[in-house]
Amino acid sequence: MKIHKEGRRILFVTLLILLVLNLLVFNFNKGADLFNRLFAGATVIVFLLILQFFRSPFRHLFTHEDLLLAPADGKVVVIENVFEPEYFEDERKQISIFMSPINVHVTRNPISGLVKYFKYHPGNYLVAWHPKSSTQNERTTVVVESDAGPLVLFRQIAGAMARRIVWYVNEGDEVSQGEEFGFIKFGSRVDVFVPIDTEIKVELGQKVKGGETVICQLKVK
């Protein structure tokens, strides 16, 4: 287990602020021992909650050209056929994974291949399970031409708590399955769009692990 690089500065600043607050409280409330101890305990809990959010556990990664791995930790909240308007402009099968504040928020490449399209969209911060969050919230869209052949679109989506999306890929990059492609700070969800004839390997409500759980199998022609 390690702390993700995106959290190190936040954790350092948070620790300094909490230490200063504790020093001020103890200095001005010298006679209120119970309150001081409760306050100190509350600040420790706050720090630990933020610390666990930025954890980056080791994952046993494997690669297979026609199997898609979960791009994030969380729960499968959508499996349906939808019209994808941004890149494909046709019907695709969508799989969405909701990431709660207690999940690991590293996002990983679900498949190996070449990045054919990348775009960052500023936007709103609707709750992540809202149907319109996929098209109206702050988000990134990545399309990879998989080594198996089919194109796969995946999208980081910010939510009500998430206020910053970080990405490490750009158009033209070669990406490897299971490796990090970004991080969503304090939120939200990842959508995956695959061809209609893709075989789904997960169920609604199922909990998945990024880089480990197989979510679907592409049809290779």
Q: Domain boundaries in the chain?
A: 2-56, 67-217
Q: Is the pLDDT of residue 73 over 60?
A: yes
Can you say whether the dihedral through the CA atoms of 195, 201, 205, 209 is positive or negative?
negative
Q: How far is CA 179 from CA 58, 122, 138, in A?
A: 12, 25, 22
Strands (E), the chain: 2-3, 55-56, 67-69, 74-84, 90-98, 106-108, 113-121, 139-146, 151-157, 164-167, 174-175, 180-185, 189-194, 199-200, 207-208, 214-217
pLDDT of residue 31: 72
- What topology is assigned to 67-217 in CATH? Glucose Permease (Domain IIA) (2.70.70)
Residue with tokens 């602020």: 17
CA Rg, the chain, in Å?
Answer: 20
Mean pLDDT of 74-92: 94
pLDDT of residue 126: 61
Query: What is the per-residue pLDDT across 147-202, written as a single tens digit (0 to 9) for each?
Result: 888 999 999 988 655 557 888 999 999 999 988 888 887 668 899 999 999 999 99
pTM: 0.78
Point out the catalytic residue in the list 133, 134, 146, 188: 188
Percent of the chain with pLDDT over 90: 40
Is 56 known to be catalytic? no
